[in-house]
A and B are shown apart, each in its own frame.
Chain A
Amino acid sequence: MKEKKSILIVDDNNDIVTTYGVVLERMGYRVSVAYDGNQCIEKIKEDKPDLVLLDVFLPGLSGSEVCRMIKEASQTKDIPVVAITASMSTDTKKRMTEVGADGFLLKPIDVTDLSRVIKEFVGV
């Protein structure tokens, strides 16, 4: 049997992590969770995911810094990063594009949008 694709959810809100987790597992992905930027970097080193769903608004390291770190390191730069933001201001979008974000999702996220974006980067 083909191994499940893994997705790393980075968000400090437990409710969001839980609900996204339930949905993604139902869709047949392996889900790991990080509550802040440092945890995220550690999780990637432990087990390289196929996709990172990165909340832009994080305590401690900001989403853009985390994204830059992922994209600068040679082992991790090929991991697609989808930025999740509450505001789709051009400023935020520009900053995230600069640090190498591959896609964007605007909160609140519909389950259809979520599956479409994930399929685009990871496949079924």
Chain B
Amino acid sequence: MRFFKSLKGRLMAMIAIAVIVTGSVVLVFSYFVTRSFFRDEVFLSVESVVSRTKREVQTVVSNSKDAAESVSTNIQLFENVGLYLTNPENPEIVQYIDGVLAESVLKFPEFDNIYVAGNEGTIISATSNPGPGKATTGKKAPEEALRVVNQDRVWADFGVEDGKTYISMATPIRLPDTGVITGLTLCTGFTPGIDRILSDTSGFGATGETTISRLSGSYVKTLLPLGEEGNVLADRLLYIGTDYDLPSVRAARGETGEAEMDIPDAGKEVAAYDFLPEAGWGVSASVSSAEAFSHLGRLRNIDLAVILVLLFGGILFSFVVARSFAKPIEELQRGVKLLASGRLNARVTINDGLEVSELADEFNTMASQLDEVYGTLENKVRERTRELQEANERLKELDDLKSEFVSIASHELRSPMASMKMGISTVAKELVGPLNEEQKMMLAIAEKNMDRLTKLTTDLLDLTKIETNQLDLDVGEHDLIELARDVVEANEAQACHQGLDLRVISPDIVSPDGRIEAICDYDRIYGVLQNLISNSLVFTEKGSIVVSIEKIDNTAGICVEDTGEGIPAEHIPGIFEKFSKAHFETRSEKRGAGLGLAIGRGIVEAHGGKIFVESELGKGSKFCFIIPLRGKNEREEVNTDS
């Protein structure tokens, strides 16, 4: 069903229906028109056979009748029969009549035998030639013939002997113009003409049958034609009850017309019938409907066959036509789909010369333009990307160069500083002579700034290493609690001097042996913690600085919490960047190099850890860092834990 929802399917269905319906309607219509004409034609042909037969039979009968009347219309015969009726014992009269008959037979060869009967019916004289119509004197002539003849009419009969048809013609013996009838003559002779007529089935089917019939008492006497190829029928005469509705019965009753009749034991037949009044005979012709209409049947079969051909041909035709219409559209659709899926080289080739091919040309133009635009765009993107990459690489090179420069510069700075430090410290300690107070003060300032410069140089070098990923960690297993205690111990004097409470909270519950072992670079972690404590010492006026250590799962956390001035909230983000904003907002004498926290973060991260800060202005700050106990490879866990 999905097929019929497609363009091709619908087109096909439409065309097929149009072709098949139109064709079928035309064929059925033509069939019925033809049938109607054909039926008329069949009836007409049967009718023409009947009228032809009638005409021919009429001629034969008429000839016989003329001959028979010539025999009977004989004044001597009339008188002698009259005499015989009054004096039947006179042999001369009979002899005379015998002579007339012998003469007549010779004169009319169409008759084989003739006999004469008196008007009361007794046969007076008869010939006895071979053939039909032999009679015996003294016997009675047929009653029917006698009655008809006595009414001054001719009685015509037919019969069959040796399979051949004969006609008997009874005519009155009378005196002309008087109406007196003394007897009758009955002439009988084979009439091959009748058989020829009945056998002539030209223009008629094989089942065609022509008959002659006449009423005889309560029966209809019917003469059937000779069988096919001259075969003699056993009995060519039939006596049919008048109540049967057959063409021969209708004809014998004097009806004229044609009809399709239902014949018992024979089926339908097309029949025509007519009547010869001068003989009282009916002529009928009939042919089986099956044969008569066999052409019509064949026509119907041909029509059905054509309809079948139309059905398949229509479907095939519609398929071909629908395909020829749908194919370019499908092709176009395929192209559009391809294009839509990003295949910009999609083109369609349609050469039907119709609108679709124009559409296809338009599509191709569009696709080409799209392709071109995309191509240009892609080239531009590629170009820009390459430029960006190049710029990026140059930046990286520059950055590397800068780092290298700083590294070298830091090293180069150390040598002159070493001799300056040596010179200043030697003079300041009065090893080369006594100094006055002013000289001592100036040298102390110089030495202090010298130390700061040295520290700055060292920090710069460390930061460079961190930024260029060149920081080498000298890792080993160290107890972080011990480390924290070492740092605190080193700063105790300064804290004491400032009146601050500096201590370590190392919760023994964390570890049974009071140790938190971590794989780390001792000096670097020491440096980070030292930096945090130094910062706290600088920014804390009074109160305490507490270093706490905790073990959380596989990580260790170290915090430095002070009661100092705290950090403004806006400075907290980015506080671990080098030279952060917080650095520049700090008073000069409290200001360090501005690199400590950045270096701290670099070292902690190099250990796979994290550093962070919480602070409230005026209340203090809490800097914490956590590192994995088993080294950097456990960094992931640290991240998820935090």
**Chain B interface SS verdict (over half):** helix
Establish whether residues B585 and A59, one from each chain, have CB atoms under 8 Å apart when the complex forms.
yes
Establish whether residues B441 and A59, one from each chain, have CB atoms under 8 Å apart when the complex forms.
no
Interface string of A31-72 (1 = CB under 8 A from B): 000000000000000000000000000010000000000000
Taking each of A13, A14, A15, A22, which has the highest tally of chain B beta carbons within 10 Å of its own beta carbon? A15
Establish whether residues A19 and B587, one from each chain, have CB atoms under 8 Å apart when the complex forms.
no
A residues 4-21 near B (Cβ < 8 Å) are 11-15, 18-19
Contacts of B587 in A (CB 8 A): 12, 59
Establish whether residues A18 and B585, one from each chain, have CB atoms under 8 Å apart when the complex forms.
no
B266, CB-defined interface residue at 8 Å: no
B445, CB-defined interface residue at 8 Å: yes
Establish whether residues B441 and A14, one from each chain, have CB atoms under 8 Å apart when the complex forms.
no
Interface string of B572-592 (1 = CB under 8 A from A): 000000000000111111000
Asked if A15 meets B448 with Cβ closer than 8 Å, knowing A59-B585, A59-B587, A59-B588, the reply is yes
Interface string of A99-123 (1 = CB under 8 A from B): 0000000000000000000000000
CA distance A51 to B21 in the complex (A): 118
Establish whether residues A22 and B438, one from each chain, have CB atoms under 8 Å apart when the complex forms.
yes
Distance in angstroms from B220 CB to nearest chain A CB is 147
B496, CB-defined interface residue at 8 Å: no
B509, CB-defined interface residue at 8 Å: no
Chain B residue at minimal CB-CB distance from A58? B588
* 8 Å CB contact of B445 from A11, A12, A18, A59: A18
Chain A residue at minimal CB-CB distance from B445? A15
B449, CB-defined interface residue at 8 Å: yes
Taking each of B445, B449, B586, B588, which has the highest tally of chain A beta carbons within 10 Å of its own beta carbon? B588
Contacts of A15 in B (CB 8 A): 445, 448-449
CA distance A117 to B253 in the complex (A): 169
Contacts of B33 in A (CB 8 A): none
Establish whether residues B442 and A22, one from each chain, have CB atoms under 8 Å apart when the complex forms.
yes
CA distance A75 to B587 in the complex (A): 30
Establish whether residues A13 and B588, one from each chain, have CB atoms under 8 Å apart when the complex forms.
yes
Distance in angstroms from A66 CB to nearest chain B CB is 16
Contacts of A14 in B (CB 8 A): 588-589
Contacts of A12 in B (CB 8 A): 587-589
Establish whether residues A19 and B589, one from each chain, have CB atoms under 8 Å apart when the complex forms.
no
Distance in angstroms from A116 CB to nearest chain B CB is 21
Interface string of B428-464 (1 = CB under 8 A from A): 0000000000100110010011000000000000000
Contacts of B442 in A (CB 8 A): 19, 22
Taking each of B449, B585, B586, which has the highest tally of chain A beta carbons within 10 Å of its own beta carbon? B449
Establish whether residues A18 and B589, one from each chain, have CB atoms under 8 Å apart when the complex forms.
no
- Give me 8 A-to-B residue pairs in the complex whose CB atoms sit less than 8 angstroms apart, sorted by A's number: A12-B588, A12-B589, A15-B449, A18-B441, A19-B445, A22-B442, A59-B584, A59-B585
Known: A14-B588, A15-B445, A22-B441. 12 other contacts (CB 8 A): A12-B587, A12-B588, A13-B588, A14-B589, A15-B449, A18-B445, A19-B445, A22-B442, A59-B584, A59-B585, A59-B587, A59-B588
